[in-house]
Amino acid sequence: MLYSEKVMDHFRHPRNLGKMEDADGIGEVGNAKCGDIMKMYIRVENDIITDVSFCTFGCGSAIASSSMATEMIKGKPVKEALALTNKAVAEALDGLPAHKMHCSVLAEEAVRAAVKDYYDKNGIAQEP
């Protein structure tokens, strides 16, 4: 089988799916090569990501990666969310096929873009 049970579960039953009104940060990333577009929304209170959601246009791996990434950063400090790696997302999904690893990279980039948007809107300096 190409996909793990966790990938299939997050694809069939995505967590935190949907647009978030009044998000504190929104990150949108895309990969023209594969056509996947990922939009991540975060709500932040006292430097903790209290809520997160996503809208993804793409393949099952992209949807599963988005879903898993939201689960991994929800309730965490913003700095911890910034440390999320595509490798951690892929491992949490019990692996992705090599030709689908770019989906976990998009999830990492979407989280970072949402945090950057939050920082920019609130005048918070981002560490390099």
Among 49, 103, 106, 107, the active-site one is 103
- Residue 34 annotated in active site: yes
Q: Tokens 């975060």 label which residue?
A: 42
Q: Tokens 């990666």 label which residue?
A: 65
Q: Which tokens hold the place of 55?
A: 């809208």
- The DSSP line for 111-124 is HHHHHHHHHHHTTP
Among 8, 17, 34, 88, the active-site one is 34
- Residue 55 annotated in active site: no
Our measurement of the distance from residue 6's CA atom to the centroid of its chain's CA atoms, rounded to an integer in Å, reads 16
How far apart, in whole angstroms, are the C-alpha atoms of residue 31 and residue 22? 26
Q: Which residues are catalytic?
A: 34, 103
